């Protein structure tokens, strides 16, 4: 069954910059209305919303919120649904980490581990608990797609806590998918190295080494990664799946 994205109402967390901004643009290009969540940079969010409304003739709203705060996740979903009139698709793209020394179990405080857990696991529970009745109202079905990471299926990435909590997030995704069918399709995208502000923090040496290790010898292009969200949103026969878009970085390394 084709699931057209035209006229759908979409919320993208961490949608104002980085991967989220490219995802917002791809949904707008499909004719979807977009609620763009940001955290600290209101100007970037407003600029993106203005450009997408003008270029694609869709409705865009900007919503400030912190993915680490439970009440804010609840409010974000309710406000997005109110402003857009309904909610069909939730792209839970926000994540949190701190770059630590690889393999060093002492190089992150317990508070920071808890922050990783809150951002990479609990935020999904909070978003879904609020969104479930709203997404379920859609007679064609609702969609929830989380941004995971190749660090969820391997032991690399920015920190051990990030890798562990992204892996836990994936398991939560599978529980969501199994318990919420047929009303809501739930899937995850696992990007490899993205050269966003976040990805640049790996530093030039590590970035070049990752490009060299990847079968395709380059980083994960943002457009290619954003494509996966569009394809998953349209595909009415996939749920509970983890789609890796990593230019072959993890091939041979897991």
Query: In the complex, which residues of this chain contact ligand NAP (CB under 6 A)?
Result: 13-14, 16-20, 37-41, 44, 66-68, 93-95, 147, 149, 191, 193-194, 196-199
User: Minimal distance in Å, beta carbon 226 to ligand NAP?
Assistant: 10
- Residue 122 DSSP class: I
Residue placing its CB nearer to ligand NAP in the complex, 138 or 226? 226
Residue placing its CB nearer to ligand NAP in the complex, 14 or 177? 14
User: Minimal distance in Å, beta carbon 30 to ligand NAP?
Assistant: 20
User: Minimal distance in Å, beta carbon 4 to ligand NAP?
Assistant: 26
Residue placing its CB nearer to ligand NAP in the complex, 97 or 138? 97
Residue placing its CB nearer to ligand NAP in the complex, 36 or 138? 36
- Residue 145 DSSP class: E
Closest to 157 in 3D by CA, of 213, 221, 102, 115: 102
User: Minimal distance in Å, beta carbon 27 to ligand NAP?
Assistant: 15
Q: Which residue number has the CB closest to ligand NAP?
A: 18
Residue placing its CB nearer to ligand NAP in the complex, 20 or 141? 20
DSSP code per residue over 66-113 = -TT-HHHHHHHHHHHHHHHSS--EEEE---------TT-TTSS-HHHH
User: Minimal distance in Å, beta carbon 150 to ligand NAP?
Assistant: 6
Q: Identify the burial level of 230 via C-beta atoms within 10 angstroms of its C-beta, where 0-12 means exposed, 13-18 middle and 19 or more buried.
A: middle
- Residue 151 DSSP class: G
Q: How far is CA 91 from the centre of its chain?
A: 5
């Amino acid at each position: 069954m084709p699931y057209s994205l035209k006229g759908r109402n979409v919320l993208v967390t961490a949608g104002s910059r980085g991967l989220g901004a490219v995802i917002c643009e791809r949904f707008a290009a499909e004719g979807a209305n977009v609620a763009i969540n940001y955290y600290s940079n209101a100007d970037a969010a407003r600029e993106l919303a203005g450009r997408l409304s003008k270029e694609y003739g869709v409705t865009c709203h900007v919503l400030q919120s912190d993915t680490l705060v439970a009440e804010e996740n609840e409010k974000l979903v309710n406000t997005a649904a109110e402003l857009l009139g309904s909610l069909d698709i939730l792209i839970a793209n926000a994540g949190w980490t701190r770059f630590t020394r690889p393999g060093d179990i002492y190089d992150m405080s317990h508070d920071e581990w808890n922050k990783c857990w809150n951002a990479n696991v609990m935020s999904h529970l909070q978003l879904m608990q609020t969104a479930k009745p709203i997404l379920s109202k859609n007679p064609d079905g609702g969609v929830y797609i989380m941004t995971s990471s190749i660090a969820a299926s391997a032991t690399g990435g920015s920190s051990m806590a990030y890798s562990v909590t992204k892996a836990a997030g994936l398991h939560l995704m599978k529980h969501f998918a199994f318990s919420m069918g047929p009303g809501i399709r739930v899937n995850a995208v696992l990007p490899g190295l993205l050269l966003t502000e976040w990805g640049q923090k790996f530093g030039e040496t590590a970035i070049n080494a990752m490009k060299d290790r990847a079968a395709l010898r380059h980083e994960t292009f943002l457009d290619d990664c954003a494509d996966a969200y569009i394809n998953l949103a349209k595909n009415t026969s996939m749920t509970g799946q983890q789609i890796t878009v990593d230019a072959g970085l993890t091939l041979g390394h897991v």
